[in-house]
Structure 1
Amino acid sequence: MYVGTPDRVLLLSPAIAIWILLDAEHWMRFGANNVMHFVDVNRDEAEWLGPDCRVVAMTPLLDALFVAAMPEATSTQTVNHNTALHTLLRQELSAAKDVPLALVLPKDARLLGVARGALDDPGSVRSVEAWSSDVPASRKTIE
């Protein structure tokens, strides 16, 4: 599974959580066997996670907090319980260790098309030589 933003692709696995900025342009690709939990953060509370998209390590506690914060779980809890849950979730997300699983997309328009094509259809990935015959760029630029 991966999430893309205009300038990078963030790679995900069950051991990973991701913070995507509120209103950030993004897209997702995932297979049929992926399970995703997400927590919406309102605009007033979003600042505590910082201004950049982040890929962070998913700990057992963080995973349990995500599951516990799902609407079906919180709808039967008291306000005090949900407040404590969300406070702990914020703390754990803020303290989570960043994982360097982001690929920066090329700024060169010629290469951006090749990179997006590879993301859309990973089976179509060919050799650098084949790409250089399709794209008016040198091997060094493509690499």
Structure 2
Amino acid sequence: MPTEQIERRIEWLIRRQRRLEDPSLTVEVLLSEAVLREEVGGPAVLAEQLHRLAEVGALPNVSIRVVPFNARNHLGVLVGSCFLMEFPPLPQSKLVEPPIVYVEGYAGDLYLEREEEVGHYRTALAEIGRVALDESESRRKILAIAKEYRT
């Protein structure tokens, strides 16, 4: 990747992390245990990232839940990486923007807005949430995996 593109992505990541400090933003994350074991940058880097994830998950407006390897009958593998974005009412008009599903793909990204498509993802996310650990168990799992990778 060209340096300029890498720097732009880093800038976006920093902006997204700063948004987590806004208490009006609510973030609910469902992560596969496989993601927690994806060793990019080596074991020390992974351990540090997992500690940061546990720290962010402790924020009052952030919920992080892990789908363990042994979870049965869920759609996580089929659904892949996606974001369901729902918006608060606009300040002046009180109108609410419709929800959008953002799907990350290898060859490109999709923004889905049709009610039926959003409904499919909403159902899938509820199904994945059904098999995910609760927030406390997820935090313990994240920190236990971080301990495995500590050098």
Do they superpose with TM above 0.5? no
TM-score (norm 1): 0.30
